[in-house]
Chain A
Amino acid sequence: MSAPSDRDLIQRARRGDAEAFGELVVRYQVSVFNVCYRILHERLEAEDMTQETFLRARDRLQTFDDERLFGPWIRRVAANVCLNHLEAQKQPAPLDEERAAGESHGPESQVESRERSEQIRQALASLPVHYRVVIELRHYQELSYDAIAAELQIPLSDVKSHLFRARKMLAEKLYAPDR
C-alpha cells in the first residue's frame, strides 16, 4: 500500500487525527530541525524551535492552503519561528561545537569533507542574524528576492544588500585564509 500524501495527512490531521499529524512530523522533522540549526547553530535551541514550529503548524493547519506544498511552508514557518526567537533574545546565539552526525573514523576524504562542512557551518554561524536568515531563505528554501522581502517584511533593496554582504563575508571567511 502506498504511503498517504501530505494532503491526505493534513486533511486527517484537521479532523483531529493525531497519528496523521505525527506522520507529517516524522516526514519533516529532520529538514525543519536543519533550518533551525542553520539559523541558531545550537542543537538544543534548534530542537526546541523545531518543536515550536510543529506546534505552530498544528495550530495553523485549519487555515493552511491545500494548494501549497507542506514542506516549503513548514520550513518557512521554522525560519520565522527562529527569527522571532532570536529577536526576542536580542543576543547572539552561542556557537555550538556540534559535529555532523555519524562522525568517528572513516576514509580521509570523508574526514576532510566533514571538516569543510564544519567550516561552512562556523562561517554561517558567524554571520549576523539577518544575513543568516536571507541565506537560509535564498539558498536552502530557494525563495526569490521578492518572496524573501515579503516573508521578512523588508524592502527588496535590503534583501539584495543582506544577501550580497552575507556572501562576501562567507567568501572572506572560507577562502581568504587560503590566499
Chain B
Amino acid sequence: MHLTDEQLNEYLDHETDDPAEMELHLAVCTDCARRLSEMKVLFSEIESLPELAISPEFSARFMPIRSEHAGLPRSLTVTMILQAALVVAGIMIAAPFVIRFVSSYAPGLSIPSFVDVFLQMQTVWMAWLDTLSTLSFPTLSEIPVVNVSSLVTIFTVIGVSLLWLIGNGLLLRNQVK
C-alpha cells in the first residue's frame, strides 16, 4: 500500500507522527520515493524564490528621515558641559595671574581686584535698585559705568577665545570619532 500525498506532505513538513515508519516504506517503495522526490523539488523551488528589491522611489519615500537636528549624543552633551565648567574655572584661576603679569609690565596701570570689581558691581546693582525704586527715568550721564581697563578686557577676550577654540577642537574630534 502506497503513502498518500497528504502523508508525504506532512512528512516533508515534519508534521508526521511517525517519520521512522514512513522512512522504512520509502526505502523499499520506488513509486512513493519518486513522488516524494518530486514534492521535494517543488518545495525547493518555492523556497528558493529570490526576494525582490524594493524600488528606489519607495525606498526614498519610506526611508526614515535621519534628522540632522537630532539631539547630540549623551557623551557629547556631557563633554560640552564639562568643557563649559572647565572654561569658567580656568578663567577664574587664570585671571589673578594675568592681572599680576600685566601689572608687572605696566606698573602705572591700575587693575582692580576681584573684590573691587565685585564691590563695584554691588554698588552698581544697588544704584540700579535705587534708580528703579524712584521710578524716574535717569539720564545716560547718571548711569554709573564700571571702569575696567581696556587691557584687562583684551586679555579676557583673548583667553576666552583661546579656550573656546580649544573646546571646539575637542568637540569636533569627538564627532569625527
Contact = CB atoms under 8 A, between A and B. Distances in A.
Interface of A: 18-19, 21-23, 25-26, 29-31, 33-34, 37-38, 43, 47, 50-51, 98, 100-102, 116-117, 120-121, 124, 135, 138-140, 144-145, 160, 163-164, 167-168, 170-171, 174-175
B53 to A, nearest CB: 3
A139 B15 contact: no
Interface in B50-68: 50-55, 58-59, 62-67
Contacts of A102: 53
A99 to B, nearest CB: 9
A145 B13 contact: yes
A164 B5 CA distance: 8
A37 B52 contact: yes
A124 B66 CA distance: 37
5 contacts: A22-B66, A29-B54, A31-B51, A38-B49, A174-B42
Interface string B1-23: 00001100110010100000000
Given A29-B54, A31-B51, A167 B66 contact: no
A164 B9 contact: yes
Contact of A167 (B42, B51, B53, B67): B42
Contacts of A116: 45
A33 B42 CA distance: 23
Interface residues of B, number: 29
Contact of B46 (A25, A34, A51, A170): A170
Nearest to A170: B42
Contacts of A121: 49
Contact of A139 (B38, B47, B70): B47
Question: Which 8 A-B pairs give the minimum distances between C-beta atoms?
Answer: A22-B64, A101-B53, A34-B51, A47-B58, A139-B46, A33-B54, A164-B9, A145-B15
Contact of B45 (A26, A101, A120): A120
A34 B46 CA distance: 13
Contact of B54 (A30, A135, A144, A170): A30
A167 B38 CA distance: 11
Contact of B63 (A26, A43, A138): A26
A38 B52 CA distance: 10
A33 B63 contact: no
B43 interface: yes
Given A25-B62, A47-B58, A117-B50, 7 more contacts: A18-B64, A29-B62, A31-B51, A50-B62, A144-B15, A160-B9, A170-B46
Contacts of B64: 18-19, 21-23, 25-26
Contacts of A160: 6, 9-10
B39 interface: yes
B54 A167 contact: no
